[in-house]
Amino acid sequence: MGNNGDGEEGLWHRSIQGQGDAFGVLYDLHRDRVFRHAYRLCGNHHDAEDIMAASFLELWRRRKQVRIVEGSILPWLLVTSTNMARNRARAALRYHRLLSSLPRTQVASDPAADPYRRYQNQLDQDLAAALSRLTAEDLHLVSLVVFEEHTIAAAAAVLNLTPAAAKSRMHRARQRLRAALDGDASTNPPTAPTPVLEGERP
């Protein structure tokens, strides 16, 4: 959670009083974690950048409703970026459905593409897809506890849950994620081609 303590809370109060440099410090403090969180949810670098920027914009736009948890605005930012990622995923789905309904030409695949890069990209997409199957509340919980290492009690406070309810939800969400990822064949790493020596049968 870092050691921002009262310092971060003070920066936030200065920000809402119109001191832009204080807001800039908070941006520098949390932008990387918000970006990583957004990337985990969408599996795409450019979308993650957009989600991060939109989350900070939303932080300012809704500054009167921001909740500080354990002296930090980060939990509020993470919940907001989760909502942004879900909205973006729904919009992307609608867009892909539209594209799929249009006639198109066949695009040749790139045979020189790096298989390990493709594998990593596929892993990112699989994780994003597995996370998208969680309910909004469970996704917030997983994001705060698993990815950002907040305590169950802190995450429960952000989400207005009791710690016991948060713990139970967390257990079920982990099981659903494990089932979703275990059932995906693309999580197997690529294997190098076996060399065939002259005179040997393949």
Mean pLDDT of the chain, nearest integer: 81
- Interval 10-49: pLDDT, tens: 999 999 998 889 999 999 999 999 999 999 888 888 999 9
DSSP states along 76-116: HHHHHHHHHHHHHHHHHHHHHHHHHTS--PPPPP-TTS-HH
Give the residue-averaged pLDDT of 51-61: 94
Claim: this prediction has a pTM higher than 0.85: no
pLDDT at 113 over 70: no
Residue 60's contacts (CB-CB under 8 Å, 6 or more residues apart) are 23
**Interval 173-198: pLDDT, tens:** 888 888 888 865 455 555 554 444 55
pLDDT of residue 176: 87
Residues 159/137, Cβ–Cβ less than 8 Å: yes
> Dihedrals φ, ψ of 69, to 5°?
-115, 125
Contacts of 197 (CB under 8 A, 6+ apart): none
Amino acid at 20: G
CA atoms within 13 A on the CB side of 85: 32
For residue 72, the cross-strand partners are 69
Q: What would the pLDDT profile of 121-150 be if each residue is shown by its tens digit?
A: 777 888 888 888 888 888 888 888 888 888
